[in-house]
Structure 1
Amino acid sequence: MHGRKGRKGRNVRTSFRALAVVAALGLSAATPALARSAGEPATAKDSTSAGEPASAGAPGDIVSSEPRSFHPLPGQPTNTKAWKINYRSTTAKGEPNTVSGTVIVPQDGKKGPRPLITYAVGTVGVGDRCAPSAGFPKGTTMEANLIQQLTLRGWAVAVTDYEGLGTPGDHTYTVGRAEGQAMLDAARAAIRLPEAGQAGLSKDSPVGIMGYSQGGQASSWAAELHGSYAPDLNVKGTATGGVPGDLMKVAKFNDGSYGSGLVFMAAIGQNAAFPELKLDSYLNARGKDLVGKLKESCVIDGSIGGAFTKISDVTTKNPLEQPDWQQRLRESQVGTHAPDAPVYQYHVITDELIPYAVGKQVRDDWCAKGANVEWHTVPVGEHVSGVITQSPLAANWLAERFAGKSASGNCQ
């Protein structure tokens, strides 16, 4: 574990890492998540989810849309049009829900089948104000500069807010199946948006899946679910990095360290998706206070507020030692199902939040199942820098897939 050499040293490191997160996109560790195995298809059931009545709408159907603007930085112009959308998706339990997101399309005059990236951001927090769609008009959304690099290539981008982030209910932070389905349905919604269709999006558009950290979990789940959940999408490949494939190992690694605030954010997400886990029954007074604050927090204040706090400090009993929580964690394992399209996967060898061995295990599991994986070890850097340095390379790889070039994996 990191950062236990005295209070002063811990505070310095916490402040440094907090500034690094803010300055370099705010990506953070994924921690315990809950979902079914990726090989098991979800089914929509008649129910009420996220505060809205279920309807007969299919996953990916648009509930509402309105014009918005996309700014990577405050006031920075882009030659794009954007729409805030609410669209149908599916919870980790297979129930219909509504998720929000943003569709961004370059205004370059192209009319043919335009490539589409469905993009999952890294951790932004669990408060509704932290949703990517809330920050795009103001130029405050983390990773917006990376998204702009995609639109400059002439690609449309659909960015999910994830379940419960900007819509009623708590954000199901790091719930893998819900994330993957939200990504795939965001792509469906973008294709079904009439205004985007006028700018070249169609059912024939080649689709790329892209994400890092929490977004790496989401994009990996989307890759695994594509064949069973959204085979109608013309997915050409997935670029994913910093993947938290074994969530129990990631949680133990961060417990009591500078990433521990993210463990508690994930507990909120687990409880949101699976209220029968009864998170509140495990919390002591300090834990209830912390969780209450985290529900209103974005990544930077949440990370600082929970840093160096052990699970045992805020609970009367560790939920991660209980069979029902452990079962949900096992169900969320990444690597149980081979993606049906090629994958570009990368991980920083010195990643201080998501252990390198955890990401590499995903690669090994996919390769063992016959997936086409191009694996890259990033020899220099840390967690946040990984996506900054690798995003252009990942985009180049996706461009080759869009161009119809075959992918040469390196499993052997």
Structure 2
Amino acid sequence: MSESDIRLPRWLLGVAALVCIAAGLALTLRPAASLDALVVLLGTALAGVGVAEIAGATRIRQRWLSVATGVIFLVGAAAVVAWPGATLSGLAPLTALTLIVGGIVKVLSGIRNGHRTSIAAGAASVTSIAAGAASVTSIAAGAASVIFGAVALSWPDATLLALAVLTGPVAVLFGFATGIRALRPTAHRPRRVAAVASVLALVAALGSLALSVRLNSERFTGPDAFYAAPADVPDTSGVLLRSEPWTADGIPDDTRAWRILYTTTRDEGVPAVASGVVVLPETSSPEPLPVLAWAHGTTGVAPKCAPSLSQEPYGTADAILGAATANGWAVVATDYVGLGTEGPHPYLIGQGQGRSVLDSVRAAHQLVPALELVPALDERTVVWGHSQGGNAALWTGILGPTYAPDVRLSGVAALSPATDLPGLVGYLAEIAGGAVFASYVADAYSRTYPDVDFAEVVAPEARTLAREDAGRCLGEGAIAVSVGTALAVPDILADGQPDERFLHRLAENTPDGPIDVPVLIGQGAADPLILESVQTGFVAKLCEQPRQIDYRTYPGADHNSVIAAESPLVPELIEWTVGRFAGEAVDDECGPIP
């Protein structure tokens, strides 16, 4: 049917143009809403095709085939509307498949047309030359489509974001084009415009492919055989299973280090295996080394995110850990269960994290005599932790007397600790990149607690993004994609807030239980993630009961700079820890220091 056979009134085209422009502008300003809009657009398109097929059944011989095809499309449209979450999950691979198949068809078509053109080239007509240019254009456009499809398969969350971001601008451009068509007849576009567009698309596709290759090359590799649990794992927790010498950037030159594998238990008491690192200072003193147990901050929730797998394992914390070994203390740094070893990782789940810390100290005490090292480790142990590790450090103090009474705790220092978990998770949407941390929490809690359902916690339009986030570590290049999607879709939670069961589990893991040893809580006053006001409120609530809590805030310090080498916290932390190892008495007062 030719174009002259179908003519729509110009006023109708004008209305359609205005609708497209208005909707496009709205979607451009709200890319998260564009994800929902994609489902609506897809459902509308399927319904339109279905209606068209059924309506066209009177014009063809095989009416039943056309009607059946139309019904299938209508059923598909209904399914899209009924299950939008499943539609979004499949939208990225569907887009990738469409790009790849469509691109291959376009390339083959261009090659075929080029072959025909070469046969007719003897005529050297303008038509044959134009046809040859068209075949090159088709091949370039098809190649670009195939490359974009391959990249889309590698980065489904980025594909969804691109679709969401581009839906609005494309609708606006389509609206303007339709409006121009309503005002005056559409002119044929010169072939050179199509050729230039195809070449630019191919260049953009090659650039996307290069970026994808680079980001993939920076992905962390998975755990090696060292982290695999042996065939027979003892039921007793804190048993050293294996060890080997270990080196990494940031480990002081005058130290020796080993990575260790040991037994522990999960939140529900199920036996598990965890990994970690033991760093011993070189010393000529025969005196036993006091033990500094380190609980690290967030690195991710996938097994590949274990600090002991990284060549830069402790980042900003290098300064304080270096100060620890410089003072003649042995550093025992757990990876936590599920990082390095088999998951799930109990991210911000107190029991699992605290047990990993306590059992790492037990295992370290077995390492030294097993390797015939001197000096031995002292029974005195102080726990430090930052961010996620601050939560873990507080839970270590809570669990110590009952879970590991053989580990002699002398003090707990929690630095920028994640404490008010319900408030923190509810606030993450307000923080740049906070959706990445929300994805970690949703993944860990849904894999640990049967009553927390990932599909109920995370909004349908954000599930693909959250799943991809949970598979990435903060230190790898691919996290840039997660940060980008988090900026565009900052709130991944269904209804914008944790549901009641999720909130209950978060409250369970708030570290507000009694701790029998002195506690130091250090907080950056400029921390955008763990707010000073929230931390102060948490400490004030703890101090309603008799506690030995020394609460210190540091003006101008943010979440990470509070533990950097130049931070005033570092010398104060060292001085406080020296006092704990020396058994010095502390004031019974609870709260901020004068």
Whether these two folds match at TM > 0.5 is yes
- Cα pair distance change 1:361/1:58, threshold 3 Å: farther
1:113 is aligned to 2:292: no
The equivalent of 1:384 in structure 2 is 560
**What is the correspondence of 1:65-144 to structure 2 with a 5 Å cutoff?**
65-72=243-250, 78-135=253-310, 138-142=311-315, 143-144=317-318
- Cα pair distance change 1:97/1:305, threshold 3 Å: farther
- Cα pair distance change 1:254/1:197, threshold 3 Å: farther
- 1:145-190 per-residue CA deviation (whole Å, 9 max, x = no partner) reads 4312211111101111112111112322211221111111111111
Structure 1 residue 281, shift from structure 2 partner: 5.1
Letter in 2 for 1:190: A
Letter in 2 for 1:291: A
The equivalent of 2:442 in structure 1 is 267
The equivalent of 2:323 in structure 1 is 149
1:214 is aligned to 2:396: no
My pick for the range that moved more, 279-288 or 120-129, is 279-288
**What is the correspondence of 1:132-281 to structure 2 with a 5 Å cutoff?**
132-135=307-310, 138-142=311-315, 143-193=317-367, 194-195=369-370, 198-202=373-377, 204-258=378-432, 259-280=434-455
Q: CA RMSD in A?
A: 2.6
Structure 1 residue 406, shift from structure 2 partner: 1.5
Structure 1 residue 291, shift from structure 2 partner: 2.6
Would you say the 8 A contact 2:451–2:501 is kept in 1? Answer: no
TM-score of the two chains, using structure 1 as the length reference: 0.79
My pick for the range that moved more, 111-120 or 55-64, is 55-64
Structure 1 residue 283, shift from structure 2 partner: 4.3
Query: 1:319 & 1:275 partners in 2: Cα distance?
Result: 19
The equivalent of 1:371 in structure 2 is 547
Query: 1:213 & 1:126 partners in 2: Cα distance?
Result: 15
Letter in 2 for 1:402: F
My pick for the range that moved more, 400-409 or 233-242, is 400-409
1:333 is aligned to 2:507: no
The equivalent of 2:501 in structure 1 is 324
Which of the pair is proportionally richer in helix? 2
Query: 2:485 & 2:363 partners in 1: Cα distance?
Result: 36
The equivalent of 2:532 in structure 1 is 356
- 1:66-99 per-residue CA deviation (whole Å, 9 max, x = no partner) reads 12124307xxx61211111111111111211111
Structure 1 residue 360, shift from structure 2 partner: 2.1
Helix, strand or coil at the partner of 2:498: helix
Would you say the 8 A contact 2:431–2:528 is kept in 1? Answer: no
Letter in 1 for 2:426: K
The equivalent of 1:64 in structure 2 is 242
Query: 2:383 & 2:347 partners in 1: Cα distance?
Result: 19
Structure 1 residue 275, shift from structure 2 partner: 4.5
Q: Quick one: higher RCO (CA 8 Å, sep 6+), 1 or 2?
A: 1
Helix, strand or coil at the partner of 1:205: strand
Would you say the 8 A contact 1:180–1:222 is kept in 2? Answer: yes
Letter in 1 for 2:576: W
Structure 1 residue 354, shift from structure 2 partner: 0.8
Query: 1:373 & 1:266 partners in 2: Cα distance?
Result: 28
Query: 1:119 & 1:292 partners in 2: Cα distance?
Result: 29
The equivalent of 1:397 in structure 2 is 576
- Cα pair distance change 1:391/1:54, threshold 3 Å: farther
Would you say the 8 A contact 1:126–1:294 is kept in 2? Answer: no
Structure 1 residue 296, shift from structure 2 partner: 2.8
Query: 1:197 & 1:248 partners in 2: Cα distance?
Result: 47
Helix, strand or coil at the partner of 2:553: strand
> For this pair of structures, how many residues does the alignment match?
356
Helix, strand or coil at the partner of 2:543: helix
Structure 1 residue 250, shift from structure 2 partner: 0.8
Helix, strand or coil at the partner of 1:308: helix
Letter in 1 for 2:243: S
Would you say the 8 A contact 1:245–1:361 is kept in 2? Answer: no
My pick for the range that moved more, 253-262 or 235-244, is 253-262
Which of the pair is proportionally richer in strand? 1
Helix, strand or coil at the partner of 2:294: strand
Query: 1:315 & 1:240 partners in 2: Cα distance?
Result: 28
Would you say the 8 A contact 1:70–1:139 is kept in 2? Answer: yes
Structure 1 residue 325, shift from structure 2 partner: 1.4
Identity of aligned residues (%): 28
- 1:359-390 per-residue CA deviation (whole Å, 9 max, x = no partner) reads 22332233333221111121222211112222
Structure 1 residue 219, shift from structure 2 partner: 0.6
Structure 1 residue 308, shift from structure 2 partner: 3.3
Helix, strand or coil at the partner of 2:464: helix
The equivalent of 2:224 in structure 1 is none
The equivalent of 1:19 in structure 2 is none
- Cα pair distance change 1:281/1:363, threshold 3 Å: closer
Selected match of 1:291 from 436, 453, 466: 466
Structure 1 residue 101, shift from structure 2 partner: 0.5
Letter in 2 for 1:399: V
Query: 2:331 & 2:271 partners in 1: Cα distance?
Result: 24
Would you say the 8 A contact 1:375–1:410 is kept in 2? Answer: no
For structure 2, list consecutive stretches of 5 or more residues without a partner in the other structure: 1-28, 31-227
Q: Which has the larger radius of gyration?
A: 2
My pick for the range that moved more, 386-395 or 155-164, is 386-395
Structure 1 residue 282, shift from structure 2 partner: 4.7
TM-score of the two chains, using structure 2 as the length reference: 0.56
- Cα pair distance change 1:256/1:229, threshold 3 Å: same
Letter in 2 for 1:253: Y
Query: 2:390 & 2:467 partners in 1: Cα distance?
Result: 27
Structure 1 residue 139, shift from structure 2 partner: 4.1
Selected match of 2:586 from 403, 407, 410: 407
Query: 2:371 & 2:544 partners in 1: Cα distance?
Result: 39
- Cα pair distance change 1:304/1:233, threshold 3 Å: same
Query: 1:362 & 1:396 partners in 2: Cα distance?
Result: 25
- Cα pair distance change 1:284/1:372, threshold 3 Å: closer
Query: 1:408 & 1:384 partners in 2: Cα distance?
Result: 29
Query: 2:426 & 2:523 partners in 1: Cα distance?
Result: 19
Query: 1:358 & 1:231 partners in 2: Cα distance?
Result: 32
The equivalent of 1:30 in structure 2 is none
